[in-house]
Structure 1
Amino acid sequence: MAQLEHFTTSVGTVAARMRALDATLPERDGVAVFNRVYLAVTEEVERRLDDGQFADRRAATALDVRFAERYLAAVEAVADDRRPPACWRPLFQLRRHPGVRPLQFALAGINAHVGHDLALAVVDTCRTLDCEPTDLEDEFDRVGDLLVSLEERIREDLMPGPDLLQIADPLTHLLGSWSLERARDATWTAARALWALRRFGEVAEEFTERLDTAVGFAGRMLLTPLAD
């Protein structure tokens, strides 16, 4: 795999940006909820990189950083009064809604980031390292497995307790309609399709726009207010 030497951004650098963002946000802000979850994922990736658990450290680093940069770019867009990608708009629009629960915010962010950003990050990484998506499949799977394991913990930690039983049933029903594993599989297919379409600019742009819109629709459903 060819590797371009100008890529030097570290996983620790993007993690530091997430920590800085966390320090500026109210605890119950929906973006803050997702940011804490994503920071935990990023720190775990950094730990596993340091432990040598990725066969191709450079590829794993590039993928993780390109992935994180997509989320951070959406945050910056909102801070600058610009429109973020459609997949992120529901989270930013409903981030302070009192009827949306923390678990919904967390999973809506994961939906936007995995369903849309990860596919584009694979393409970004292939361009950075001058490789094919198949060269990144092991790293993609390892990051995906980590996300799945953390999603299970997130659901346990953020599911309402006994004092909120009146919303537990609709929340369980709503969140049961979305699966990270299915989203990850669809993302891999989308990434390969985008790479195959890279020389067909108009078609690739339309495909990306449709992907963005579809993921945004799913995110809006995940953020359905369940209580006032």
Structure 2
Amino acid sequence: MTTQAPSGTTVDDIVAQLRQLVSGLPPQDGVAVFADAYLTVTEAIRDHLAEGGFFRAPGEVTRLDVLFADRFLTALDAPRPPACWRPLLELRLHPGIMPIQFALSGMNAHIEHDLPMAVVDACEALGCVPDELSVDFHRVNDVLAQVEEQVRDTLMPATEDIRAAEPLVHLMSSWSIDRARDAAWASAVGLWELRDRPTPYAAATDALADATGLVSRCLLTPLDRLRG
């Protein structure tokens, strides 16, 4: 197993790449919707790193954050993206899908699949084990929770028809960022134990990508009747 080479070396590099990505896409593009939300998260992480004291090991967090972001950025240009990203990339311009759905589908793909893979990458690069990243990994939860709430408040469509909004509320309530990160940590620990066994490692990562993609596709169920 080889560690993926990051496209940027600092969190500022990632912020710059995400800004360029968002500015180069039409706002209704589902990739732009997710990338804009992800940019908010990355800027918040960068600010906490700059302040000092929030993370136990800022250098390790930087390495993890860069490797994490690179998996999303690489998937955008891949001839065959991982299964977890295909729903968003295939449906990014579907007119019946709400912006909040694009954001949650991207978060699901990135957290449930890319994050555990990035933890393994970071541990390989840093010469440590997942437990050594655990404290800072879970500190990120506080940042993500704040940003996710902002994203939901900003992107939730206004509608006075409760019955029309019910399908979207159901989809939104079926996915939790806290549960996603808990699952990501469990996946990271499991993958780390398989890292020196290529065949089961490949089987586990393929299964993770497929399962994550299934949830992402469900989150992108078209809800045309919510459009006004």
Mark yes or no: TM-score above 0.5: yes
| Residue 101 (1) aligns with residue 95 (2) | no
CA RMSD of aligned residues (A): 1.7
- Give the superposition deviation at 1:162: 2.5
**Aligned runs of 1:42-61 on 2, under 5 Å?**
42-52=42-52, 53-61=54-62
Partner of 2:4: none
Q: TM-score, normalised by structure 1?
A: 0.92
Q: Distance in 2 between matches of 1:24 and 1:212?
A: 27
Partner of 2:114: 117
Answer yes or no: is the 8 Å Cα contact 1:91–1:109 preserved in 2: yes
Q: Which moved more, 1:152-161 or 1:112-121?
A: 152-161
Partner of 1:10: 10
Partner of 2:66: 65
| Residue 91 (1) aligns with residue 84 (2) | no
Q: Distance in 1 between matches of 2:146 and 2:94?
A: 28
Which string of whole-angstrom CA distances, capped at 9 and with x for unpartnered residues, describes residues 146-198 of structure 1? Answer: 11221112111111103675631110011211111111111101000100111
Answer yes or no: is the 8 Å Cα contact 1:85–1:212 preserved in 2: yes
Kindly tell me the number of residue pairs found equivalent between the two proteins.
219
Q: Which moved more, 1:153-162 or 1:101-110?
A: 153-162
Q: TM-score, normalised by structure 2?
A: 0.92
Q: Kindly tell me: are residues 137 and 163 of structure 1, through their superposed partners in 2, closer, same or farther at Cα, counting changes over 3 Å?
A: same
Answer yes or no: is the 8 Å Cα contact 1:194–1:204 preserved in 2: yes
Amino acid at match of 2:59: R
User: Tell me, what secondary structure is at the counterpart of 2:9?
Assistant: coil
Partner of 1:133: 130
Partner of 2:76: 75
Q: Kindly tell me: are residues 164 and 158 of structure 1, through their superposed partners in 2, closer, same or farther at Cα, counting changes over 3 Å?
A: farther
What residue ranges of structure 1 are gaps of 5+ in the alignment?
1-7
Q: Distance in 2 between matches of 1:26 and 1:168?
A: 25
| Percent of aligned pairs with the same amino acid | 49
Answer yes or no: is the 8 Å Cα contact 1:33–1:106 preserved in 2: yes
Partner of 1:3: none
Partner of 1:185: 182
